Amino acid sequence: MSSIIFSPWGSAKLLSAPSPTQQGEPEGSLGGAPGASEGGSRCDWCEQLTEPGHSRDCGHHVCKECERDSSRAGILSCLQCLEDQGKQLLNDLDRVRHPQVGMVAEGEALAAPSRRRLVVEVVQGPQEPRGRLDQRLDEVEAQQKTLQNIVTVLSREMGRREGARGSANGGSANVLGEAMARILYLEEKVAQQDTLLALKDVMISNLGARVEALEQTSYNGQFLWRLPDIGRKMQQALSRQTPALYSPPFYTSRYGYKLCLKVYLNGDGTGAGTHISLFLVLMRGEYDCWLKWPFHHKVTFTLLDQVGDRHISSSFRPSEASSSFQRPVSNCNIASGVPEFFPLCQLHAPEATYIHEDTLAFKALIGDTNL
């Protein structure tokens, strides 16, 4: 028995009944690869290696994407089966000999009216009404055109998707490049901000030191000098690591002489190793040009008893001939004062309270004012 089939790749074709040898073949063996296994394989529709998809009843393997697209388009038949059956129909037509047409030679194209009559009479026989057959053939050709339109739409959609994938990949690369450039720019800005913050910290530290120095600066000729951590400082003086310490500067008046103290905790000169030596240092000041030279004011040093009232004082008057009291030409003059200011043995006596909470305190008075 012969039947009419249609294919989205050609016009209506005739499929003859299978021969006895063909009837014994397993279903799905015609014109296609054996049924695909559930693992990764080649799709019989798009011929691409894909992930496991769906095996149809005919045995052909269809990938998930092709199956989804055919479902959206309303295609229920297997496209591979339609193509295989169309090829078989062409082979059968090549062997047909019709009394009105004659033998069709291989590769010879039939005229449209002869092809229509050939297909109709082979399917239904000459006794079928001609109008009925023409109507059925028109329906088949209309369905064929519909399928061709569906295939065209699917092909266009697949092309659009491929283009969209390429554009998405290119767009992602551009976005990634812009993001990396932005990150590098921000990292550079962060590094610059870190540098600025470090500079600001240094400036703040310097300003803090200057403010502290200004707060401790005296402008009335009296200066109180406290030495914390005196135990460690005494050890450094004994080891000659830091034999002398300098006090912050102070002034005799707001626009007066600039001075500072210098102490040798283990002594210097005639008091080395036996006494604390305390000296006055005349420094170059901002207002030296207005002052009277040489420096001639009386100087009084006092070691303060921080618990009792047994303060120890020593005074001297500057020598006008000494270079220590001339107008400074460098940052400071040579120190001058009392080498044997206070005996070390009395400083560490059990009853002595000059060292309190590991702190030693000195006072300097410039002028004739009494303590």
Instruction: Give how far the C-alpha of residue 273 lies from the chain's centroid of Cα atoms, to the nearest Å.
Output: 63
Give dist(CA 11, CA 3) in Å, integer.
Answer: 14
Q: What is the pLDDT of residue 129?
A: 55
**Could you tell me where in the chain the CATH 2.60.210.10 domains are found?**
222-366
In tens digits, the chain (371 residues) has pLDDT values of 444 444 443 444 444 444 444 444 444 443 444 444 445 577 776 766 666 566 767 777 778 777 776 665 555 567 667 666 666 665 655 555 444 444 444 444 444 444 444 444 444 444 445 567 677 778 888 888 888 888 888 888 887 777 777 666 666 777 888 888 888 888 888 888 889 888 888 899 888 877 877 777 899 999 999 999 999 999 999 999 999 999 999 999 999 999 999 999 999 999 999 999 999 999 999 999 999 999 999 999 999 999 989 999 999 999 989 999 999 999 999 999 999 999 999 998 989 999 999 999 999 999 864 43
CATH architecture of 222-366: Sandwich (2.60)
Going by the DSSP 8-state scheme, the letter that residue 39 receives in this structure is: S
Q: What is the pLDDT of residue 50?
A: 64
Q: What is the pLDDT of residue 170?
A: 64
Give dist(CA 295, CA 259) in Å, integer.
Answer: 11
Q: What is the pLDDT of residue 368?
A: 64
- Interior/surface letters 211-232, b for 16+ CB within 10 angstroms, e for the rest: eeeeeeebeebbbebebeebee
Q: What is the pLDDT of residue 66?
A: 74
Q: What is the pLDDT of residue 127?
A: 46
Single-letter amino acid code for the residue at 21: T
Q: What is the pLDDT of residue 60?
A: 74
